[in-house]
Homo-oligomer: A and B are copies of this chain.
Amino acid sequence: MVRRDVLKLLVALCAPLAGAAGAQTSMLPSWNDGEAKRRIVEFVHAVSTPGKDFVAPGDRIAVFDNDGTLWAEQPLYFQFLFMLDQLKAAAPNHPEWKSNPAFNALMAHDKAALAKLGHKPVLELLGAANSGMTVGEYDATIRHWLTRSKHPKIQRPFTDLVYRPMQELLAYLRANGFRTFIVSGGSAEFMRPWAERAYGIPPEQVVGSQQEVKFEMKDGRPVLTRGPSFAFIDDGPGKPVGIYRHIGKRPIAAFGNSDGDLQMLQVTAAGEGRRLVLIVHHDDAQREFAYDRESHVGKLDKAWDEAREQNWIVVSMQSDWNKVFAFEK
């Protein structure tokens, strides 16, 4: 016990130093000086400094959307591209798909037909193509795909396309006692293999949509097998539900980029005490992509209006970030 007490003492002695370091902005070098950065730093200082806005470390919960907020999402959600590749790979074993309108529209990249069909038959088909294997086998497939696939336009591995300023922001929040979570419309198993390295977020802090998973004994060993249907969609009104189920506390900070994040941002903003609510606006066609109200992927319309009404922070990628990706010169 004496040795543990020494450790505790040393940590206690250093805590004020760590706190002081937290107020520094040297941890956010990719952020230009401006309103967004200033408001972030002010908020973090306020909730982590004894005073009227102080929040206990255990309650400093920050939630981040993934696609379009922490990494890119154009021309299509990367997980969608992965699931499409799984569909193609499985097609030879499924001759019946040749008469499936969703399959034919996907293979022909027929956007008009897809728009007419709606999400349901497409998700059903992708769910079927991404099921039947154990979760371990599926995990291996994801890891393999991520190492050999490249973004169609930027021609780099998808995991290179994480936003450097958001990596800095995550580290800055954690250095100030925050616990950081991903709350994504994508599924957790697609993010967990790389989220810890890319974002410093461990698997148990990744919340996402869920395909059915079933326990069974296979060759005398207990395994989990993927089913074809979705058990939970962690998007739009599903995000606050995912947060409630997984985290069990209302976040004090939330970060998103599209209408799919609106309810998560609303629930965060509605809590008592000081809050940080931030939207990333994709307005940088040169370094990344420019899209908002009319986009089919990551549409930002209602959430943008609400951000203006509620005075949430809207980050301009073009003017607030001096770097988007780590690989930029």
Contacts and interface: CB of A to CB of B under 8 A. Distances in A.
A230 interface: no
B6 A244 contact: no
Given A4-B18, A18-B7, A205-B204, A188 B263 contact: no
A244 B267 contact: no
Given A1-B21, A222-B263, A240-B224, A188 B7 contact: no
Interface string A235-246: 001101100111
Interface string A1-27: 101101100110010011011000010
A3 B26 contact: no
A248 B192 contact: yes
Interface stretch (A34-42, A124-132, A142-150, A209-217): A209-217
A168 B192 CA distance: 31
Nearest to A220: B270
A147 to B, nearest CB: 20
A7 B1 contact: no
Contacts of A120: none
Given A204-B249, A224-B244, A245-B210, A26 B10 contact: no
B204 A270 contact: no
Interface residues of A, number: 51
Contacts of A248: 188-189, 192, 203-204, 206
A222 B1 contact: no
A141 B56 CA distance: 24
A106 to B, nearest CB: 27
Counting every copy of the chain, the complex holds: 2
A196 B248 CA distance: 12
A135 B244 contact: yes
A221 interface: yes
B11 A263 contact: no
A206 B135 CA distance: 22
Interface in A160-184: 175, 179, 181
A157 B210 CA distance: 37
A26 B1 contact: yes
A305 B20 CA distance: 57
Contacts of A192: 248
Interface in A246-266: 246-249, 263, 266
A14 B20 contact: no
A152 interface: no
A228 interface: no
Interface of A: 1, 3-4, 6-7, 10-11, 14, 17-18, 20-21, 26, 58, 135, 175, 179, 181, 188-189, 192, 196, 202-206, 210, 213-216, 221-222, 224, 231-232, 237-238, 240-241, 244-249, 263, 266-267, 270
23 contacts: A1-B26, A4-B18, A7-B11, A7-B17, A10-B10, A10-B11, A10-B14, A181-B204, A192-B248, A203-B247, A204-B204, A204-B246, A206-B248, A214-B237, A215-B241, A215-B263, A215-B267, A222-B240, A222-B263, A222-B267, A224-B244, A224-B267, A246-B246
